[in-house]
Structure 1
Amino acid sequence: MLIEYRAYTLHLGAEELFWEAQRERGEHGLRPIFERLIGAFATRSGPTDQVISLYRYDSFEDWHSRLYGIYGQTRLQPYFRVIRPLIARQESKFLLPAPLPELTPHWGNGQDWLPAQGALFGADSLVEQTTLSFSAGGVPACWEAFRQHALDDDPVALNGVFAAFSSIAGALNEVLIYRRFPHLEALREHRQQLRHSSAWTSFLRSLAPLTVASDVRLLEPSPVADMAPLFAH
């Protein structure tokens, strides 16, 4: 299993044009990659006019054949002519699911959710993306610290967690943790609870010598139904 993280930073003010182009492209042209889509999200903190997408592929070969197979399709050329000028910068990296089932209950460790299985969450959802960037060796140390501080027994630490991945290509030595909340107030309450969680605080402090940077972003699921298969519409 291979997870792709793809980020499109759009030109300022282009987000709604991006979603409109998605509505007009039709349902079937991007099916090969949308069969593997976890979700597309708009950033609501951090970079403005940015769209982040997560895909789950069987392998690098599966990624290559599905993605590059759509570029030559004649019926998609009008869509590409509209969408490409909206994008100022593209980034991509490959991830693997965390080796801990508690952190990734839907991908890896014997689990394999795909869009065809239907939505997991309600329409009114917000997603928090936490990225921990480490020096070399930090990722296995992160998983070991999770075990040592018994975060699997801490309901606050696991609240809302639906995925966790580590990078293997692109920006290396990163751990990305995704949490889902029904509304902003629930997210704020959870952040406050984390500050008072001794297990979570000890976990972070133990990783501090290996931590290069940390980043938390608020993401909103795509308003286009086939780009947000995790969420009911």
Structure 2
Amino acid sequence: MAIYELRTYDIIVGKMGEVAQLYKNEGWPALQKHPQKLVGYFTGDIGALNQLVHLWKFDDDADRRAFWAGVFADAEFMAFAGKLRPLIAAQQNKLMMSAPWGPTP
């Protein structure tokens, strides 16, 4: 059964533009070298402002762990992460399973 990882980054107020440019120029190019597991990136418009949310889909926990191990072993991605971390105020990760009804991504 697939599992989903929902990552929410609270971005320091006033830094979302810098985060977006960093992802466009360095983060996304680095992530594209790895197996496609991303469902999507999202930003808040009303309510949860200054948040970057991303949803990932994995076959199972072993698939998830192997994916992140590969990403974290990538020097290009880790250089990007070193620049991103000071712009993040807080991070939440949630692992979820699809409900047994309705559509799934």
- CA deviation map 1:27-82 (0-9, x unaligned): 5421326x111111001122221011111100111111111221122222331221
Alignment of 1:144-159 (within 5 A): none
User: What residue number does 1:58 align with?
Assistant: 59
Instruction: State percent identity of aligned pairs.
Output: 23
TM-score of the two chains, using structure 1 as the length reference: 0.41
Distance 2:44 2:31 in 1: 22
Q: 1:8 corresponds to which letter in structure 2?
A: Y
Distance 1:13 1:84 in 2: 15
Q: Secondary structure at the match of 2:30?
A: coil
Distance 1:37 1:85 in 2: 23
Listed as ranges, the gaps of 5+ residues in structure 1 are: 108-233
Distance 2:15 2:5 in 1: 23
Distance 2:76 2:70 in 1: 13
Cα drift, residue 26 of structure 1: 6.5
Large movers: runs of 4+ above 4 Å: none
User: Of the two, which has the highest radius of gyration?
Assistant: 1
For the structure 1 residues 87 and 74, does the alpha-carbon distance in structure 2 shift closer, same or farther, using more than 3 Å as the test? same
Alignment of 1:48-197 (within 5 A): 48-100=49-101, 103-104=102-103, 106-107=104-105
Root mean square deviation of aligned Cα: 1.7
Does residue 1:10 correspond to 2:11, yes or no?
yes
Cα drift, residue 8 of structure 1: 0.3
For the structure 1 residues 99 and 14, does the alpha-carbon distance in structure 2 shift closer, same or farther, using more than 3 Å as the test? same
TM-score of the two chains, using structure 2 as the length reference: 0.86
